Chains A and B, each alone.
Chain A
Amino acid sequence: MPRPSRQVTKWHFSRRSRAADMPVKVQVEDFDAGAEIARLRLSDPGIGAVACFIGQVRDMNDGAPVGTLTLEYYPGMTEKALAAIVDQARARWNFHDALIIHRIGTLQSKDQIVLVAVAGSHRGECFSACEFIMDYLKTEAPFWKKELTPAGERWVDTRESDDVARKRWESKL
């Protein structure tokens, strides 16, 4: 007998949202966070909470002014890695839907880089899932940043604090 999908067993909603059909986007274009969050929020009447995170380009990093930030990715793997992170979050928390939009290409100070939004019945699971997704995205999703500073171009180094943030979740299993 075919096993019902996880969505059906966990949630008794009649239809899936548009966001659920495409929960992960990697794109050059900017995004309208308000519109994306509204689409997620309105996708089901059982949703009572949306937690979201937006990352943007800072004008300084490691003591140097940053002119532009260029993001490289691994087409195919990056999308799969992001979808796998959402699946891992789904296995830990009960939420209705999640959305990740991550930009690539060359960005300027104050440009949006990433949006993570998680919608569910209550805030607790949404907050946790949103933070988990960001912590795993930072350490497992294939993106690489290169900064242009007055001294020239440089690849951004990883931060130990990002690994620490991710490892926290392993001890909470």
Chain B
Amino acid sequence: MSRPVRILYFARLRETLGTSAEEASLPDEVMDIIGLMRWLAARGGVWQEEFDGCRQIRAAVNQELVQNAASVKAGDEVAFFPPVTGG
């Protein structure tokens, strides 16, 4: 069963990945943020460098900050970004 999600990338991630947004169809095994990060890392290259777990990345689901164990469902808007530096 196809599970479409929208994934957004901000700041350093947007630049290194060369994209600010994508529509993705998640495979069944991707249930949560950590699973999604592993799935993205498997693309290799810059994706692996950003999502292999070594860099500090924060995630939001439907515009709420979440931990890596948070689940991801069809239709969600997921965002990945570096730690914030406003103010």
Could you give, for residues 125-158 of chain A, a 1 whenever the CB lies within 8 Å of some chain B CB and a 0 otherwise? 0000000001001111111111000000001111
Residue B81, interface by CB 8 Å: yes
Contact B84 A139 (CB under 8 A): yes
Are B60 and A157 in contact, with the CB atoms below 8 A? no
Provide the bound-state CA to CA distance between A44 and B83, in Å.
Answer: 38
The residues of B that contact A141 with a CB separation of less than 8 Å are 84, 86-87
Instruction: Tell which of B84, B85, B87 touches A134, judged by Cβ atoms closer than 8 Å.
Output: B87
The CA of A76 and the CA of B12, in the complex, are separated in Å by: 19
Pairwise interchain contact B60-A77, C-beta atoms closer than 8 A: yes
- B85 near A102 with CB under 8 A, answer no
Q: Which residue of A134, A137, A144 contacts B82 across the interface (Cβ within 8 Å)?
A: A144
Q: Do A158 and B83 touch (CB < 8 A)?
A: yes
- Per-residue interface assignment for chain A, residues 76 to 101, with 1 indicating a CB less than 8 Å from any chain B CB and 0 otherwise: 11001100000000000000000000
For the residues of A in contact with B, the DSSP-based class is mixed
- CB-CB nearest in chain A for B62: A77
Q: Which residues of B contact A72 (CB under 8 A)?
A: 10-11
Given contacts A72-B10, A77-B60, A140-B65, is CB(A145)–CB(B86) below 8 Å?
yes
Residue A113 is within 8 A (CB to CB) of chain B in the complex: yes
Summed over the interface, the residue pairs from A and B with CB atoms below 8 Å come to a total of 72
CB distance from A16 to the nearest CB of B (A): 25
- Bound complex: CA of A102 vs CA of B87, how far in Å? 7
Q: Is A169 an interface residue (CB 8 A)?
A: no
In the complex, B8 has a CB within 8 A of chain A: yes
Which residues from chain B contact A143 at a C-beta distance below 8 Å?
A: 84-87
Chain B nearest CB, measured from A66 CB (Å):
13
Q: Which of B56, B64, B79, B81 contacts A144 (CB 8 A)?
A: B81
16 A-B contact pairs sorted by A residue (CB < 8 Å): A71-B86, A74-B8, A77-B79, A137-B87, A138-B86, A140-B65, A141-B86, A143-B85, A143-B86, A144-B11, A144-B85, A155-B11, A155-B85, A156-B85, A157-B85, A158-B85
Residues of A within 8 A of B (CB): 55, 71-74, 76-77, 80-81, 102, 113-114, 134, 137-146, 155-158
